[in-house]
């Protein structure tokens, strides 16, 4: 079976989700072509690059709209599907124009179109603040247009499925719940004594609770001066609220390779996820991959992936900095055991090899397979 997998809207984490799926499809004997916008090129290794089609330059909203209006971009996508004889298209992330175009072309060519829905529906959009909360209405409308020509929609949590059913009751295709899987880039590979940081994975946003993280960092200067904090972000941070905190190390660049990211994350005692809104979290599963426990808010998808007292702790949405610090110290005191549990759960549920549990069900209903 010939499979096209990719993301036309640049966001670094989706490279790993796409490659995890693609490699496991190849392992199962399928022919895989990757589809990326040019923003991903710097992240691709030689093997993936040689199997990739680079289309468009969508790295932000303006460039995405521009790509969507370019007739040559649409024609290139049409040719990829037709000339390569693609049987299945699997898209991660949502491009505001091109995913809908791909779904329509796929339907016309009797190609199975699969869309992974990472953000099905945000009930309380105000937690995003600013213009982002209004953008979400448009985002959900775009997603609705994609789903009208989607054969299989994939969500990655019970919370995600609940919200999907609430927002898109018209959907007539198949739904599958599949954990959010990541390339396995290795375990902790180091001594627990080398861990020193309490980490927040950016970029900062109101929905991710970066303001609460700063409150915790500030409180620790008084209540826990022994704690060191860091924020890792693939978007450069210049905000003095972060850069001028004496007990906070800012590791931020627009391009941080997976290897660099891993090296920095392995220095962590714990990752903090003080989120106000979340369906699933790549930050949590990346932390688990490196054996880093997570302390997060007791909401939505976090309750499904953080095992309280095993892979970290869950705290109330309105927890005080002192309560967060108490949970951080609890993790530190049980770090060797928790670290092993995090890595074990990643291997059992979120590592790319787990795709083998779902591929047969996902691909067996493809349109062209049924035609034969």
Per-residue pLDDT tens digits for 309-350:
999 999 999 999 999 999 999 999 999 999 999 999 999 999
Kindly report the number of other CB atoms within 10 A of residue 257's CB atom: 13
**Is the confidence at residue 190, as pLDDT, over 70?**
no
Per-residue confidence band for 191, with pLDDT thresholds at 50, 70 and 90: low
The ranges assigned to domains in the chain are: 2-182+352-371, 192-350
Torsional class of 209: left (φ above 0), alpha (ψ -120 to 50), beta (otherwise) = left
Long-range contacts of 83-86 (CB under 8 A, 24+ apart): 84/2, 84/4, 84/33, 85/2, 86/2, 86/3, 86/4, 86/33, 86/111
The stretch 88-107 carries a mean pLDDT of: 96
* 2-182+352-371 CATH fold: Rossmann fold (3.40.50)
**Is the confidence at residue 371, as pLDDT, over 90?**
no
**Same topology for domains 2-182+352-371 and 192-350, yes or no?**
yes
Per-residue confidence band for 245, with pLDDT thresholds at 50, 70 and 90: very high
> Tell me, what's the pLDDT at 182?
94
pTM over 0.85: yes
> Tell me, what's the pLDDT at 209?
95
* 192-350 CATH fold: Rossmann fold (3.40.50)
Please write the tens of the pLDDT for every residue from 16-74: 999 999 999 999 999 999 999 999 999 999 999 999 999 999 999 899 999 999 999 99
């Amino acid at each position: 079976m010939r499979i096209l997998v990719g993301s036309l809207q640049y966001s670094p984490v989706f490279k790993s989700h796409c490659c995890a799926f693609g490699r496991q499809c190849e392992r199962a004997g399928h022919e895989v072509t990757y589809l990326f916008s040019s923003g991903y090129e710097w992240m691709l290794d030689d093997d993936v690059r040689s199997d990739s089609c680079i289309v468009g330059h969508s790295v932000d909203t303006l460039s995405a709209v521009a790509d969507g209006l370019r007739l040559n971009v649409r024609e290139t996508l049409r040719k990829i599907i037709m000339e390569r004889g693609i049987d299945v298209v699997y898209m991660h992330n949502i491009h505001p124009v091109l995913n809908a175009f791909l779904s329509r072309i796929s339907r016309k060519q009797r190609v199975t179109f699969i869309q992974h829905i990472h953000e099905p529906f945000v009930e309380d959009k105000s937690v995003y603040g600013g213009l982002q909360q209004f953008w979400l209405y448009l985002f959900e409308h775009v997603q609705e247009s994609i789903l009208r020509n989607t054969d299989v929609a994939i969500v990655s949590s019970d919370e995600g499925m609940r919200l999907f059913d609430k927002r898109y009751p018209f959907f007539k295709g198949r739904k599958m719940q599949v954990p959010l899987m990541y390339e396995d880039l290795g375990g902790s590979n180091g001594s627990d004594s080398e861990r020193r940081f309490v980490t927040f994975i950016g970029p900062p946003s109101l929905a991710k609770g970066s303001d609460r993280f700063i409150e915790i960092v500030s409180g620790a200067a008084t209540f826990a001066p022994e704690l060191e904090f860091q924020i890792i972000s693939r978007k450069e941070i210049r905000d003095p609220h972060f850069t001028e905190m004496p007990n906070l190390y800012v590791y931020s660049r627009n391009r941080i390779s997976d290897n660099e990211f891993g090296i920095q994350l392995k220095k962590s005692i714990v990752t903090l996820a003080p989120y106000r809104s979340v369906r699933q979290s790549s930050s949590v599963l990346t932390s688990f991959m490196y054996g880093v426990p997570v302390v997060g808010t007791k909401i939505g998808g976090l309750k499904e992936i953080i095992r309280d007292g095993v892979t970290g702790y869950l705290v109330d949405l309105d927890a005080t900095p002192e309560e967060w610090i108490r949970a951080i110290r609890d993790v530190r005191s049980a770090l060797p055991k928790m670290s092993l549990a995090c890595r074990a759960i990643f291997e059992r549920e979120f590592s790319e090899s787990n795709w083998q549990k779902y591929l047969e069900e996902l691909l067996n209903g493809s349109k062209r397979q049924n035609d034969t």
